């Protein structure tokens, strides 16, 4: 299966600079899941910019 990285990047709201997982959603989800977190795309624009990817931040954001 081919990676849709270019298409994923068009829909990615992550503003964290320099992350090599940007647009590689499978790696992004796995990374944050292992840490008990959610990826940037689960958060509003303002919450995403805090770089707090915790579940409690997600709940507070909704």
Q: Which residues bind ligand SF4 (CB under 6 A)?
A: 14, 16, 19, 21-22, 28, 31-32, 39-40
Which of 28/57 has CB closer to ligand SF4?
28
Instruction: Report the residue number, 40 or 57, with the smaller CB distance to ligand SF4.
Output: 40
* 3 state SS for the chain: CCCCHHHHHHHCCCCCCCCCCCCCHHHHHHHHHHCCECCHHHCCHHHHCCCCCEHHHHHHHC
**Shortest gap between Cβ of 59 and ligand SF4 (angstroms)?**
17
């Amino acid at each position: 299966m081919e990676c849709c990285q270019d298409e994923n990047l068009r829909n990615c709201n992550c503003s964290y600079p320099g992350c090599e997982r940007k647009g590689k959603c499978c790696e992004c989800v796995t990374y944050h899941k292992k840490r008990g977190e959610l990826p940037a795309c689960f958060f509003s624009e303002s919450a995403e910019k805090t770089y707090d990817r915790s579940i409690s931040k997600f709940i507070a954001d909704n």
